[in-house]
A and B are shown apart, each in its own frame.
Chain A
Amino acid sequence: MRTIPFLIICLAVGAAVFAGAIASGNDYLFFAGYVVMQYIVLATAWNILGGYCGYVNFGTAGFFGIGAYVTVAIHQWHPLPIPLLVLIGGVVSAVIGYGMGYLTLRLRGAFFAIATLALAVVLETLVVNWDYVGGSRGAYIVRPEAIAPFGSYIRYMFMIMMLLAVAALTVARLVERSRLGYGLATIRDDELAAEAAGVPTLRLKLIATTISGALMGMAGAPFPYYIGYLQPDSTFGFDYAVNAIAMSLIGGTTSWVGPLIGAVLLGSLQQLATVTISSAVNLLIVGLLLVFFVIVAPNGILGLIHKYWQHKSDDFVGRRRVDLEAAAPAPAADGAPGAPP
């Protein structure tokens, strides 16, 4: 399928969801749906670096927070329309994503993950000490009651976040099927071999970090208007990172569909639990589901589907069927004992 038809289908699905929510007559659906859409963007963004390229980023909250606090800073100066704020948030976090990538992408595995975690902490510390955006007291942003032609403001925000989700999925799908996607897959599999095959690994990783960071920042930009009271502690909270990772892993990391499935599933479950039980159950759900999936389906729901398909037809071989065992790192090149002549 080409990109344009894909985009049209996405927009049609989005319009249907939007119409359905309006038909229900319950504005709470928009509040809950906003969060689910936000997680589609975050998980998809995470997956571009974490899934396609194999670099686990724990700094999701950092980028999300940049987007949110750029909005706060701009709001303090002069309120701008949200779409514009999304763009600005995206640009700023893209720049920070590039910078972070440049500083950390020479690290691998756990070291890279720790560095990204540190990024979120550094950014939070900066914001806490920046009085203009409220510092540790937090910042209040009063969102307008209504906006034409949507009626209530939350419908407008839901719409924006949904368009952002469509954009994120389209970008992820484009990346996946392009030369860039192939290159990222080789980096995930074996970086040395990728270099030897002519893949400019550092450059591709920087591109992935920049795209991923930009999307995360864009997801964060409307957040102050949604939440009303923004506090550094929760904005840079670990939840975003854990959720984005969990959603991608549960859905499946090798394709754009995975984070979508994971975010819709986990995001809806969390929203349901928040209403019916308590908001504290959220992370418990994530934890239990993660344990379940690690044991039962280490390649996520997509992995399960592929397995099922393989049983159906043995000669079907997916292009990106990844097995955790097969993806285990190869031993070092020079460790092999060769027979002496």
Chain B
Amino acid sequence: MLRLSNIEVAYSKIILVLKGMSLEVPEGKIVALLGSNGAGKSTTLKAISGLLSKENGQVTSGVIEFQGQKINGIDPDQIVKSGIFQCIEGRRVFKHLTVEENLMAGAYTRKDRNKIPSDLERVYHYFPKLKALRNKASGLLSGGEQQMLAIGRGIMAKPKLLLLDEPSLGTAPLLVKEIFQNIKQINKEEGMSILVVEQNANVALSIADYGYIMENGRIALEGPVDSLLANEEVREFYLGMNDKGKKSFHEGKSYKKKVRFV
């Protein structure tokens, strides 16, 4: 459905952030994109949704294909119309608009406007909390509620592919679990393909079908979730587990220096 082949992205035409990134999202699946800070996860999402141009970034080589059509270089509003919706990092709800107005803004590009009221109910079905808050200015919501709202906007847009940028950021740990369960449910019930970027590898892999791990602007490791969970390095570095019990901090560090994925 979505295919990135050998993407290179540079900011201000100088700073190369993605260096030959390739990735694929199959129809109807949840794909997790994991990696540490600065690996280029968010940049990957922005390259797909076209929001890079707003930050002076550019796809300098490679092709992004969505349903067989090349989409790099198209304006973001056209990309939303073609069926890709990104929930950008840090929730970014419209603070002075009410919850319901935020959701309506999500439906901005929809042509079938008579179906919007029923979709509004769908969002409230996934996130009952939002219904009670529907007339409240969304800037006054808690972090978790704002995250629900941000995902709700994504549902309202009825995309074929939903891009989620760190849904766990700034959210209480209990709510994180709940939100990821909701994401799984949305994927199943709405048939949306989902590409989720996360730092919290544990929770992301718990709902994903396939995972990619990024390092330094390219994919370091990929595979179905089971094989990733079985991989010793992944367990050690991304999930914080290993078989031999806890290692000292010093040991961990020196080990990390020896083994690189790329």
Chain A complexes with chain B: no
